[in-house]
Amino acid sequence: MNLIRRHLLGFAALLLAAAIPAYLLGGFAAVGGVWSLLLFAYLLLHWFHLVRLIRWLANPKLRLVPRGYGIWDDIFNTLLLQAKSRKKRKQQLGRSLQRFNRVIDAMPDGVIILDQEGRIEWMNRLAAVHLDLDFEKDQNGILKNLIRTPEFHSFLQQPLDDTPPTLKIRLSDGLKPRSVMLTRTTFETRLELLVTQDISAAEQLNETRSAFIANVSHELRTPLTVISGFLETLADLPDLPPGERAEFIGLMQQESNRMLNLITDLLTLARLENSGGGETHKQTFSLSELAEQICAEGRALSDGRHQFQSQIAENILVHGTESELHSALGNLVANAVRYTPEGGSITVSLHDNGSNAEFSVRDTGPGITPEHLPHLTERFYRADAGRNRKNGGTGLGLAIAKHALANHHAVLNISSSVGEGSTFSTKLEKAEAVGEP
């Protein structure tokens, strides 16, 4: 209001200033003519600025805010400030939207917003991955037409109430099946939210746990059945000849030892998995002396049935848990003894490779076919189940070795050729001797 008053007073002063000389020269008739010319010029000026304003408002992106004269200069300056303010707010909103999208993309769950017709109004990239959708092309698509399974269509038709409906489905992206948990809930009027969770890892864990329990039960059932059968025989036939009684008792002791070995390996494996590679109980010790001890144990287990050779470098120290490495490396040697036929060769070596020490066990056994190699470190996995049980193995030795070496930041490497034997090796980081700089 002050701005308008100021400009009106200025225009009145202009009319008055023009009227005085016009009156002195020509009287009131001259004053009317001068005022008419000034009013006409004033209207033309406003019309000119009004046209410029209309052009700019029609497409403000094509040019800057125009400059003006008088009140129009104030109007254009005000519009310029507002345009700058809108641009700044737009930039802030753009940055906020980008940050929101990054947050949504970083969420562990997928999110889809559906309208009343089941059309995708918005979704994050993780939801597209979970449901095997195309993030760009499937925007605004009808979801039930993109996932054509009866259970999914029934899920989308369930009414939304206080308890959001859920569905677990298995989908495939062409590589491997994926288990996805879906949850629907109301979002806004005529909108609903679909949340997706990839539960494949949890499903795999449950399957692994179930398989583990089944394997343990199977491994324990056999010796328990043997022991129970012999006990029933001894109870029903108290007058068995001493030779048969001694044979039965020996077999029961053998099966009992097998169960004890299995339980010991299970406890060892559980301890290794729970230790997580922590520094507890780790110390610097001689890997050379440990390797010599493992070789002695391997020779005793072989009992002269194999050509046992060792190449152990001296004075190699490592930092770790000696008992864990004893279990890991000892299992490699014990497996070589079990699986190498009588008369075969077993070579245990420990080499100094600068900053690392390489331990390897090479045998001339029957070898392992390629399809079994990736699974050898799985619990209870046996390339030849019958022969493993015959040789007293529990099926946990390589799993123990893998976890024990992982706790020492080492990897178990396996190479094998059918008919030529196998080599199990690992590299451990050396430690400096106590007192060395």
pLDDT tens digits for range 351-360: 998 889 999 9
pLDDT at residue number 295: 93
User: Which residue is it, tokens 């922590």?
Assistant: 278
Mean pLDDT for all residues in the chain: 81
Q: Specify the amino acid at residue 247.
A: E
pLDDT higher than 70, residue 15 = no
pLDDT at residue number 297: 92
141 versus 44: which is more confidently predicted?
141
Mean pLDDT value across residues 325-331: 91
Sheet holding 345-353, edge to edge: 307-312, 345-353, 356-363, 421-429, 413-417
CA atoms within 13 A on the CB side of 70: 17
pLDDT higher than 50, residue 437 = no
* Of 167, 200, 198, 199, nearest in space to 184 by CA: 167
Start-end of H helices in 276-381: 287-302, 322-339
Question: Distance (Å, rounded) from C-alpha 286 to C-alpha 430?
Answer: 10
**CB < 8 Å & 24+ apart, contacts of 248-256:** 251/226, 252/226, 252/227, 255/222, 255/223, 255/224, 255/226, 255/227, 256/223, 256/227
pLDDT at residue number 164: 85
Question: Is residue 433 very low, low, confident or very high in pLDDT (cuts 50, 70, 90)?
Answer: low
pLDDT higher than 90, residue 294 = yes
Work out the percent of the chain whose per-residue pLDDT is above 70: 86
pLDDT at residue number 435: 46
CB atoms within 10 A of CB 372: 14
pLDDT at residue number 368: 87
- Of 22-31, 186-195, 248-257, which gets the smallest average pLDDT? 22-31
CB atoms within 10 A of CB 127: 24
- Coil, helix or strand at residue 225: helix
Domains of the chain: 2-101 (no CATH), 108-198 (3.30.450.20), 204-275 (1.10.287.130), 283-429 (3.30.565.10)
310 versus 387: which is more confidently predicted?
310
pLDDT tens digits for range 366-378: 888 888 888 888 7
pLDDT higher than 80, residue 314 = yes
- Coil, helix or strand at residue 25: helix
pLDDT tens digits for range 51-94: 777 777 777 665 566 777 667 777 777 777 877 788 888 888 88
- Coil, helix or strand at residue 307: strand
In the numeric block, which tokens belong to residue 91?
């930039």
Question: Distance (Å, rounded) from C-alpha 361 to C-alpha 306?
Answer: 14
pLDDT tens digits for range 99-120: 877 777 777 788 898 988 889 9
In the numeric block, which tokens belong to residue 119?
């059309």
User: Which residue is it, tokens 């679909």?
Assistant: 194
pLDDT tens digits for range 226-266: 888 888 888 888 788 888 888 888 888 888 888 887 888 78
Strands (DSSP E) along 116-267, which ranges?
120-123, 166-172, 177-188, 191-198
Mean pLDDT value across residues 266-295: 80
pLDDT at residue number 317: 93
Question: Distance (Å, rounded) from C-alpha 65 to C-alpha 242?
Answer: 114
pLDDT at residue number 375: 80
